[in-house]
Amino acid sequence: MTLLVLGLILFLGSHLLPTAPPLRLNLVGQLGERRYKGLFALVSFLGLALIIAGFALSGDTGRLFAPWPAAIAIAPYAMVVSFILFAAANMRTHIRQTLRHPMLLGLMIWSLVHLLANGDRKGTVLFAAFFVYAVVDLASAVHRGATKSFVPTAKHDVIAIVAGTLIALLVMTFHRTLFGVAVVPFGR
Can you give the pLDDT at residue 85? 98
Asked whether residue 78 falls in the same domain as residue 144, the answer is yes
Q: What is the mean pLDDT of residues 21-49?
A: 94
pLDDT band at 135 (very low <50, low <70, confident <90, very high): very high
Average pLDDT for residues 136-145, to the nearest whole number?
Answer: 93
**Do 93 and 1 reside in the same domain of the chain?**
no
Q: Is the model more confident about 29 or about 180?
A: 29
Stretch 60-74: mean pLDDT, rounded? 91
pLDDT beyond 90 at 186 = no
Q: Last residue of a domain, which of 37, 58, 79?
A: 58
Least confident piece of the model among 48-57, 121-130, 177-186: 177-186
Residue 27: which domain range? 1-58
More confident residue, 146 or 113: 113
Domains: count for the chain = 2
Q: Is the pLDDT of residue 61 over 90?
A: no
Q: Does residue 1 share a domain with residue 47?
A: yes
**C-alpha–C-alpha distance, residues 96 and 35, integer Å:** 30
- Are 158 and 182 members of one domain? yes
pTM: 0.91
Q: What digits encode the pLDDT tens for the residues 97-126?
A: 999 999 999 999 999 999 999 999 999 999
Percent of all residues in the chain with a pLDDT value above 90, rounded to a whole number: 83
Lowest mean pLDDT among 17-21, 49-53, 67-71: 17-21
- Does 79 share its domain with 121? yes
Contacts by residues 14-19 (CB-CB < 8 Å, ≥ 24 positions apart):
14/40, 14/43, 14/44, 14/47, 15/44, 15/133, 15/137, 16/133, 16/136, 16/137, 18/137, 18/140, 18/141, 18/144, 18/146, 19/136, 19/137, 19/140
**Mean pLDDT of the region 24-32:** 93
Among 58, 75, 98, the domain-final residue is 58
Mean pLDDT of the chain: 94
| One domain for residues 37 and 79 | no
